[in-house]
Amino acid sequence: MQRRHFLATAAASTAAAVLLPGCDRAPRALEGGFTGIDMARGHQLRDLLKTGTLPAPSVVRRAQVIIAGGGVAGLAAARSLRLAGVEDFAMLELEDGAGGNSRGGAVSGIACPLGAHYLPVPGDDAREVQDLLEELGLRRRVAGRWQYDERHLCHSPQERLFFDGEWQEGLLPVHGVGEATLAQYRRFAQAVEREAKAARFAMPALKLLGPKKPLAPAHQALDAMTFSVWLAQEGLDDEHLLWYLNYCCRDDYGAGVARVSAWAGIHYFASRHGFHAPGEAVDEARESVLTWPEGNGWITQRLAEPLANTVNGGGQLRTATSVLRITETRHGVEVDAFNHATDSVERWQAPRCVVALPVFVAARVVHNPPAFLTGAAQRLQAAPWLVANIHIDSPLTDRPGAAPAWDNVLYADPTAGGLGYVNAGHQRLDTGAALAGPTVLTYYQALGDVQGGRQQLATQPWQPWAEAALATLTVPHPDLRQRATRVDITRYGHAMAIPVPGMQGFLSQIGLQRLSGKRKKLSNGEQSPWIPTPTTARLAFAHSDWSGYSVFEEAFTRGHGAGLVAAG
């Protein structure tokens, strides 16, 4: 903690030094482009599937298990297969690298996230994630207590909000608000605590399921309405509270309180650290987050590294490979996949397959899909998402108030979808260089509530997106356009599932189809229980979509469980 306080002091003193005259040079020609996700490749797959006739395979390959999809769930399945002693598997991934929404990248040599940028310190419900962090050296037991590596916890100051023309610490609007607003903050905190006592929330949510444990009645009631309806019933209508809750929902779910269920709105707080009104005690350890310059790409890169082992003459991870069709046969599974490097179709045969694909993709490629898959695909709604990585060559002019932080949010019109930015340089150990030298600002925009957002992502060139991000951030940083040298845009047409009303009730029943009390001893000493996993005779489905919302803990735990099912 002493080191983190030192970082906060250094940041504050350096912040004063960067309050320089802002517009001392003309805007330069902006470089940039689309990066990270090959949207055209995904559309090529969609169009090929629409034809109904697939090219004949040019080669047949075999493995013990096929993993379709290399996101967090697929990588978790690969890890659990290896821990269970299964090395003969192949992972087929459409993009040029694994990681899904948790990829990392770099702009002008500076690492930055292309998607998810942090992982909250997991609670005991997420034991599989805890085991992973211990394996990666991020947590260890000291004097009987678990401690996390301070270098990987988010440095102070962690977050700030640009509100009413200046920066304030924290993301809940507090400066200059009236007593009526503060009273509503306290009432909402009490309501979250009340709902958490009525029925327990957990992260991941699937840990609450079991053969005799369907969705609790209190959760069913919350799942039946939107968060905005529940808030209205509670008499919670303060504009500052509603702005903050809209921000939280768009941040985790891609859409605001009028779209997501009340269950999702309460779950955001109750499954982790609750909601704290100003002046209430805060457990800093519970609210800590792990982060890296490249975001959660730090984790997915390490999950992917062991997959370079050779199997049948090639690596276990097969990138630039689009899954076209998954067919269960009498003796196993056949997976036809298009290899973009060779422009040819390959057929993979295996006794089992982990389908770690988004639900809407899985419903298209699984031949004769089970009813629970088609039902989920019909109900799930996905939010488009945009990430703009902005390289700046020197410090920005900063408006008055709180010192520069890792997470910087703007109090703005929620319908625009802008979520602010994180500073890729914030985690550098050399705080002077982090604040005085070039860095990358990673700006996020959730488009789930923007009409035609997905179509706009697919058709607009990169420049309008870059200029819109710069214009938004110019409000707190008037010289941003002069300092910016390059903007790389990453597009996600289907970034995350939106937990709309009724979704949890439907998905919780799917999770009950296969659950065993058996425990499997893994090579690292884990005693891992079988996890509720949607399955058929030879397919195990794993993706955060099956939880109805997209966070690392859900994707990883579901992938881990599906890998154990496939291991047999």
- Per-residue pLDDT at 285: 64
Per cent of the chain over pLDDT 70 is 87
Show which of 243, 275, 307 is a domain's final residue.
Answer: 275
- Per-residue pLDDT at 112: 95
Q: Are 65 and 353 in contact (CB under 8 A)?
A: yes
Per cent of the chain over pLDDT 90 is 71
Q: Are 322 and 94 in contact (CB under 8 A)?
A: yes
Q: What's the burial of 374, exposed, middle or buried (CB within 10 Å: 0-12/13-18/19+)?
A: middle
CATH number of the domain to which 254 belongs: 1.10.405.10
- Per-residue pLDDT at 274: 86
3-class SS of residue 485: strand
Q: Are residues 266 and 190 both part of a single domain?
A: yes
Q: Are residues 265 and 187 both part of a single domain?
A: yes
Residue 459 has pLDDT above 60, yes or no: yes
The number of beta carbons lying within 10 Å of the beta carbon of residue 28 is 13
Q: Are 61 and 85 in contact (CB under 8 A)?
A: no
How many residues comprise the chain?
A: 568
Name the strands in the sheet holding 344-350, side by side, starting at the edge strand that comes first in the sequence.
59-62, 344-350, 333-339, 321-328
Q: What's the burial of 344, exposed, middle or buried (CB within 10 Å: 0-12/13-18/19+)?
A: middle
Stretch 158-187: mean pLDDT, rounded?
95
Q: Which of 365, 317, 325, 321 is nearest to 342 (CA)?
A: 321
Q: Are residues 236 and 366 both part of a single domain?
A: no
What digits encode the pLDDT tens for the residues 317-339?
Answer: 999 999 999 999 988 999 999 99
Stretch 343-359: mean pLDDT, rounded?
96
Rg (alpha carbons) of the chain, rounded to whole number:
23
Residue 13 has pLDDT above 70, yes or no: no
Q: Are residues 376 and 506 both part of a single domain?
A: yes
Q: How far apart are CA 495 and CA 447, in angstroms?
A: 10
CATH number of the domain to which 360 belongs: 3.50.50.60
Stretch 451-469: mean pLDDT, rounded?
93
Span of 36-45, 415-424, 476-485, 498-507 with lowest mean pLDDT: 36-45
Max avg pLDDT among 10-19, 111-120, 306-315: 111-120
3-class SS of residue 186: helix
Stretch 156-183: mean pLDDT, rounded?
94
Q: How far apart are CA 353 and CA 328, in angstroms?
A: 9
What digits encode the pLDDT tens for the residues 213-237?
Answer: 778 999 999 999 999 999 999 999 9
User: In the structure encoding, which two tokens stand for residue 476, read together?
Assistant: 């707190």
Stretch 354-376: mean pLDDT, rounded?
96
Stretch 529-551: mean pLDDT, rounded?
90
* 512 in any annotated domain: yes
Q: Are residues 523 and 375 both part of a single domain?
A: yes
Total domain count for the chain? Answer: 2
Span of 41-50, 170-179, 367-376 with lowest mean pLDDT: 41-50
Q: Are residues 220 and 299 both part of a single domain?
A: no
Query: 104-107 and 89-92 as β-strands: parallel, antiparallel, unpaired?
Result: unpaired
Residue 372 has pLDDT above 90, yes or no: yes
- Per-residue pLDDT at 415: 64
* 260 in any annotated domain: yes
- Per-residue pLDDT at 11: 39
Q: Are residues 268 and 308 both part of a single domain?
A: no
Domain that holds residue 201: 183-275
> Helix-strand-coil percent breakdown of the chain, rounded to 5?
35, 25, 40
- Confidence class of residue 314 from pLDDT cuts 50, 70 and 90? low
Q: Are residues 204 and 261 both part of a single domain?
A: yes
User: In the structure encoding, which two tokens stand for residue 406, read together?
Assistant: 């890792």
Span of 131-135, 329-333, 344-348, 507-511 with lowest mean pLDDT: 507-511
Stretch 410-414: mean pLDDT, rounded?
81
| DSSP designation for 175 | T
Residues whose CB falls within 8 Å of the CB of residue 172, separated by 6 or more in sequence, listed in order: 161, 185, 240, 244, 278
Average pLDDT along the chain: 87
* 18 in any annotated domain: no
If you search the block for the tokens 């519970």, which residue do you land on?
Answer: 286
* 370 in any annotated domain: yes
Q: Which of 155, 370, 406, 186 is nearest to 277 (CA)?
A: 186
Q: How far apart are CA 71 and CA 89, in angstroms?
A: 16
* 508 in any annotated domain: yes
Span of 165-179, 198-212, 319-333 with lowest mean pLDDT: 198-212
Q: How far apart are CA 185 and CA 207, in angstroms?
A: 30
Show which of 275, 304, 323 is a domain's final residue.
Answer: 275
* 346 in any annotated domain: yes
3-class SS of residue 31: strand
Q: What's the burial of 509, exposed, middle or buried (CB within 10 Å: 0-12/13-18/19+)?
A: middle
What is the crossing angle of helices 371-379 and 503-510, to 10°? 160
Stretch 501-524: mean pLDDT, rounded?
72
If you search the block for the tokens 């499997």, which residue do you land on?
Answer: 520
* 75 in any annotated domain: yes
- Confidence class of residue 284 from pLDDT cuts 50, 70 and 90? low
* 405 in any annotated domain: no
Burial 32-66 (b: 16+ CB within 10 A, else e): bebbbbbeeebeebeebeeeeeeeebeeebebbbb
Residues whose CB falls within 8 Å of the CB of residue 45, separated by 6 or more in sequence, listed in order: 94, 322, 324, 338
- Per-residue pLDDT at 568: 83
Who wins on pLDDT, 137 or 28? 137
